[in-house]
Amino acid sequence: MLELRKDIFADERDDNLKEVGKPTQRQDMLGHVTGTSAYYDDHRFANLLHLKILRSPHAHARIRSIDDAAAARAPGVKRIIRGADVPVNLNTLLSLIQFGKDDEPSLATDVVRYKGEPVVAVVATSERAALEALALIRVSYEPLPAVFDVEEALKPGAVSVNAAYPKNTFEYYNKYDHQKLRFGDADAAFAQADIVLDERYQMSPIEHAPTETNGSIAVPDTNGRFIVYTSTQALFFSLDTAAKINAMPSNQLHFIGGTVGGGFGGKVDTLTEPLAILAARLTGAPVRHRLSRHEEMQFGSPRGGERIYIKDGIMRDGRIIARKVRAYFDSGAYTRLSSYAAVKCAAHIPGPYTIPNVSADVYCVYTNRTPATAMRGFGVTALDFGLECQMDKGAVAVGMDPLEYRMLNAYRDGDMKAHRREAKNCALIECAQVAAEKASWPLRDEFRRMSSRTGGGVQRAGGGADRTRAPAPAPAPATRPAPVTPQRVSYERPAAAPAQSAPPPPPRTPSPPPAVQPAGSTHGAPRFSSVFGTRRR
Amino acid sequence: MKTPVQFRLNGEEVAAFAESGANLLDVLRESVGDLSVKGGCWQGTCGTCTVLVDGAPRLSCITLAESCAGKSIETAGGLRRGAELHPLQSAFMERFAAQCGYCTPGMLMAAKALLDRNPNPSREEVVDAICGNICRCTGYEPIIAAVLDAARGDSRRRA
Amino acid sequence: MSVTVKTFAKLADAAGALSSERNARFLAGGTLVMRALNEADPAIETVVRSTDPSFVNIAVSSGRIELGAGVTMAAILAERDLAFLHPVARAVGGPAVREAATVGGNLFAPSPYGDFAAALLALDATVTLAGSLGQREAPLEEFLGRRERNTSLVASVAFKRPAADAFRFVKVTRVHPKGVSVLSISAQLPLASGRLAGARIAYGAMARTPVRAKAAERALEGRGLDAAGIAAAVAVAADGTSPVDDAIASAWWRREILPVHLRRLLLGAGHA
């Protein structure tokens, strides 16, 4: 059962909690066990039509011609939909918050960029009729060279995957081809380190595989409106995306969702609603667009495979003095949410540890694979896998207990983080101590006495070479206004003189590029500051 | 071409005209209107569509509808008696054995197939009984606990 | 456009329809055919079924066992006289699949499926085919070799009951208790005065169809079931196999672990 350790940070707590720590029944549990929870497909319509998609068999190819005449005449077929029929046939999900260029068609017209990309839609009176009509469509393709590896995709002369991003990287603020983090001088610190640990971590794409596949039913309502039953996790994202692609005002759409048969991030991309709505408009009938299990695997977004290089400079006493990370997110052929994954990854480096010299370059890369998207902590989970494997290897390298190694290097209150924020409310040490207690994992006395509230912000005790502290960040220019963020408390502090007993050796500090450029953004969404990287206007 | 199919569903006689070659899942949902049965793969690989046919667990998505003529079919929609839940349903609620709920109807029927034949199963037997049902949310332990609770009569029937 | 379903009370009539109807396919349990229908497979226009009781009959005599091709894995599990086959039947899918999956259907299941067919191969089974010219028997091995070209209806399979405790089976899978095979090994190991006489070993998922491990069988002849006795057989365990890479495992991995599992099975340490 859940145990709340109120003895820890007791003097800071104000948590006589009414809900946390006590089981509360789900409001839909009775519906689930009686089979009455209504998923999108639990609605019946007498004249329901079925939409099925013809998909590219090639990872990369030019479409020379499409012959759908026989399919259009096939029994039960009401309508064939081509790319030219889609009112706005280029989109990216996060265009709704002005993040990224429209890059993905609902139906491909001239080029296909991944195996499974939609090319033609058939709308028919039964699933079988639609599937049989698909088999009658003849598409002539000219296969093109394809690239499947993130580092190959970044080499000069690589196959260009995505027309909106011809160099195979997402562009942040229309200018930067990756996310960059610089703190101190990692390269100089490696030269001083006793041990250098350089490792590569590779993830496979992971498919959410919800038991309910992606799907939606669009139903003509009165007065030109449409009701859309959908499996989406992101009701308003999906509504606005569908409105944009259909060039209709959003108030003509009534989206009904709420019961999702498993999402995990794989039901935010609005894969089925736009074409279902278009088909309903073109036929005047309710239309269901449901992904088969095979389509869910092939066409539905996975979490993209990540390749992460982590290089640590470690002193013999266990202190990590430098960490350099180079990470590549395989976005597949289109952006979907991978642009955001790279931002989250950069924000997470170097993990919950105080490391005085940190360097990171994080790329969102295009390849001819199924476009990747959100999944359960995407951007962070794979990075944590790499970081924690790296911590285990580092512990072995210095001959230290892996838990103690982490505690030694953990953030403490007052430490300066690589993102130039002061660490506050740290608790990794206490978590480690409780975990050790629960697992009967022996910790030395010194580690059992450690606290997140002491030892931070100052030169850490411990023998060996100086822990190279980062130089104080350049004083904020006087002209910079105080941050105005109505939704967030500012954690900014005025630049304080760093409490160091010895001046740091002069590292070669290349002047770091500004952390992020707020490029004249007109967005009205300050809560997405993590995406835009700044709360300064 | 349509074929008449008649069978007992949760104790009631039902009849439908099914497309020739149609599977039981589609007939139950689309023709008969029992939406408590869910479809996950239409390939016979996930177990979501599990129903009981003459007491035996069957994957309705790969069962020919017309082969069920004259048989007795049970689905999750027929488990409760009025306001009174089946012990499995109560146990699932008490053990938080559902999150998204999509695998739940199939899980309940797979568990019922076990308990109807073996009222006092071991944990291994419960695991085997649900090994054909995929759950992507719970990690299975709450479901196994719920089935064992129901077998032990640990959960009281309540609406 | 629509499929036609034809059900016959007599197996011979079903066999006739299978040959005479266009794009006809026989439906037993449905694990393969219903999936194809759900996907609107254009290669199936007529579905042929039979309600002939012989099709689901289990005939067990002291020496011979005959299983109708429509006998399900669940029916085998319910038959005490077939206890030696229970580990095989239990390894086919979960409970609902076992209620549908049939002996006959398993003969056509593509690799890496088909573990029951591999067990039948190790039991030296024969198949009885019902075609337009009546019934005829064929060795299972021969049938498997040309199953893609087969147009006859499999009516039943038959084999001699193995000696007590002579039949062993292991299914190697990543997902327990049920999962697709990395590989399976079925073995019939008759002993005469502590020496193997006429051992049969068959593999699932080590080739396009279930295959006999004939080199290993020859290397076991006259040997004892101990570490020294089986060494030669284990050394040639993979002879005659042609495993492939698939979503479950690579060919390399299958070849690597095969001798390990064969050794454990022969020494009696393997899990069923």
- Is residue B104 situated within a structural domain? yes
Whether B43 and C35 lie within 8 Å, measured CB to CB: yes
What pLDDT is attached to residue A466? 36
The topology (CATH level 3) of A153-194+304-395+461-473+502-532 is: Aldehyde Oxidoreductase; domain 4 (3.30.365)
What pLDDT is attached to residue A494? 39
Q: Are residues B31 and B97 in the same domain?
A: no
- CA of C34: which chain B residue's CA is closest? B62
Q: Are residues B7 and B73 in the same domain?
A: yes
What pLDDT is attached to residue A536? 39
Q: Which of C2, C35, C99 sits opposite B56 (nearest CB)?
A: C99
Sign of the dihedral defined by the CA atoms of residues B146, B151, B154, B155, in that order: positive
**Domain termination residue (choose one: B51, B78, B105):** B78
Quick one: which H or E segment has residue A197? strand A195-202
Proportion of chain A above pLDDT 70, given as a percent: 85
Query: Per-residue confidence at A452, pLDDT binned at 50, 70, 90?
Result: very high
Contact residues for C268 (Cβ-Cβ < 8 A; gap 6+): C168, C225
- Taking the CA atoms of residue C246, residue C251, residue C254 and residue C255 in that order, the dihedral angle to the nearest 10 degrees is 170
Q: Are residues B60 and B7 in the same domain?
A: yes
Q: What are phi and psi of C55, to 5 degrees?
A: -65, -25
Q: Are residues B42 and B67 in the same domain?
A: yes
SS3 C115: helix
B36 CB near a chain A CB, below 8 Å?
Answer: yes
What pLDDT is attached to residue C261? 97
Picking from A211-225, A460-474, C177-191, which range would have the lowest pLDDT averaged per residue? A460-474
A110 and A56 Cβ atoms separated by less than 8 Å: no
Whether C40 and A128 lie within 8 Å, measured CB to CB: yes
Task: Give how far A487 is from chain B: nearest CA, Å.
Answer: 31
Q: Are residues B20 and B50 in the same domain?
A: yes
Q: Is it the case that residue A130 has pLDDT exceeding 60? A: yes
SS3 B123: helix
Q: Is it the case that residue C180 has pLDDT exceeding 80? A: yes
A127 and A118 Cβ atoms separated by less than 8 Å: no
Whether A132 and C42 lie within 8 Å, measured CB to CB: yes
- Joined together, the tokens standing for residue A528 give 């997405």
- Is residue B124 situated within a structural domain? yes
- How far, in Å, CA of A501 to CA of A249, rounded? 63
Across the A:B interface, residue pairs with CB atoms under 8 Å apart total 96
- For chain A, residues classed under CATH 3.30.365.10 are 153-194+304-395+461-473+502-532
Whether C95 and B20 lie within 8 Å, measured CB to CB: no
- How far, in Å, CA of A416 to CA of A456, rounded? 9
Proportion of chain A above pLDDT 90, given as a percent: 80
**Average pLDDT for chain C:** 94
What pLDDT is attached to residue A519? 41
- Whichever domain contains B113, its CATH number is 1.10.150.120
Q: Tell me which chains share at least 3 CB pairs under 8 Å with chain C.
A: A, B
* pLDDT digit string, tens, across residues A482-530: 444 333 344 343 344 444 444 444 444 444 444 443 443 333 343 444 4
Contacts of A132 in chain B (CB under 8 A): none
Q: What are phi and psi of A393, to 5 degrees?
A: -65, -35
What pLDDT is attached to residue A510? 42
Give me the domains of chain C, ranges plus CATH numbers.
Answer: 4-50 (no CATH), 54-160 (3.30.465.10), 167-266 (3.30.390.50)
What pLDDT is attached to residue A457? 82
What pLDDT is attached to residue A521? 37
- Domain A49-144+208-298 part of CATH 3.90.1170.50: yes
- Joined together, the tokens standing for residue A274 give 């736009």
Task: Give how far A446 is from chain B: nearest CA, Å.
Answer: 38
- Is residue B157 situated within a structural domain? no
A83 and A15 Cβ atoms separated by less than 8 Å: no
Contact residues for B151 (Cβ-Cβ < 8 A; gap 6+): B115, B119, B120, B121, B126
What pLDDT is attached to residue C272? 37
Q: Are residues B34 and B64 in the same domain?
A: yes
Q: Are residues B72 and B97 in the same domain?
A: no
What pLDDT is attached to residue A333? 98
Q: Are residues B74 and B6 in the same domain?
A: yes
- Joined together, the tokens standing for residue A67 give 């012959």
Sign of the dihedral defined by the CA atoms of residues C85, C86, C89, C90, in that order: negative
What pLDDT is attached to residue A458? 56
What pLDDT is attached to residue C131? 80
Task: Give how far A288 is from chain B: nearest CA, Å.
Answer: 13
- Whichever domain contains B63, its CATH number is 3.10.20.30
Q: Name the strands in the sheet holding A195-202, side by side, starting at the edge strand that comes first in the sequence.
A: A179-183, A358-365, A320-330, A306-314, A195-202
Q: Tell me which chains share at least 3 CB pairs under 8 Å with chain B.
A: A, C
| Interhelix angle B104-117/B141-152, nearest 10 degrees | 40
**Domain termination residue (choose one: B78, B103, B118):** B78
Quick one: which H or E segment has residue A122? strand A118-124
> Nearest CA to B48 among B21, B68, B76?
B76
Q: Which of B62, B114, B129 sits opposite C34 (nearest CB)?
A: B62
What pLDDT is attached to residue A302? 96
- For chain A, residues classed under CATH 3.90.1170.50 are 49-144+208-298
* pLDDT digit string, tens, across residues A63-95: 999 999 999 999 999 999 999 999 999 999 999
Query: Per-residue confidence at C269, pLDDT binned at 50, 70, 90?
Result: low
Q: Are residues B143 and B91 in the same domain?
A: yes
A265 and A208 Cβ atoms separated by less than 8 Å: yes
Q: How much is the average pLDDT of A375-391?
A: 96
Low-confidence ranges of chain B (pLDDT < 50): 155-159
A227 and A259 Cβ atoms separated by less than 8 Å: no
Contacts of A34 in chain B (CB under 8 A): 36, 76-77, 79-80, 85, 89
Whether C40 and A75 lie within 8 Å, measured CB to CB: no
> Nearest CA to A158 among A169, A334, A167, A114?
A167
Q: Are residues B8 and B71 in the same domain?
A: yes
What pLDDT is attached to residue C271? 40
What pLDDT is attached to residue B76? 98
Q: Which of B20, B23, B129 sits opposite C34 (nearest CB)?
A: B23
Number of separate domains in chain B = 2
Burial of C257 (0-12, 13-18, 19+ CB in 10 A): middle
Query: Per-residue confidence at C150, pLDDT binned at 50, 70, 90?
Result: confident
Residues of the domain holding B128: 87-152
* pLDDT digit string, tens, across residues C55-103: 999 999 889 999 999 999 999 999 999 999 999 999 999 999 999 999 9
Q: How much is the average pLDDT of A211-232?
A: 97
**Average pLDDT for chain A:** 88
Please list the alpha-helical segments (H only) found in chain C: 11-20, 33-38, 73-77, 86-90, 95-100, 103-108, 115-122, 140-145, 214-220, 227-235, 251-266
Q: Are residues B9 and B73 in the same domain?
A: yes
Task: Give how far A75 is from chain C: nearest CA, Å.
Answer: 8
CA C167 to chain centre: 14
Q: Are residues B114 and B133 in the same domain?
A: yes
Contacts of A132 in chain C (CB under 8 A): 1, 40, 42
- How far, in Å, CA of A466 to CA of A464, rounded? 7
| Interhelix angle A428-438/A402-409, nearest 10 degrees | 160
Query: Per-residue confidence at C151, pLDDT binned at 50, 70, 90?
Result: confident
A96 CB near a chain C CB, below 8 Å?
Answer: no
- How far, in Å, CA of C43 to CA of A468, rounded? 71
Q: How much is the average pLDDT of A183-199?
A: 97
Contacts of C1 in chain A (CB under 8 A): 75-76, 128-129, 132
**Domain termination residue (choose one: B29, B49, B78):** B78
Q: Which of A34, A45, A217, A298 to mutate to test the interface with B (most CBs of B within 10 A)?
A: A34
- Is residue B40 situated within a structural domain? yes
* pLDDT digit string, tens, across residues A225-243: 999 999 999 999 999 999 9
Q: Is it the case that residue A460 has pLDDT exceeding 80? A: no
* pLDDT digit string, tens, across residues C195-217: 999 999 999 999 999 999 999 99
C62 CB near a chain B CB, below 8 Å?
Answer: no
Q: What are phi and psi of A139, to 5 degrees?
A: -115, 130
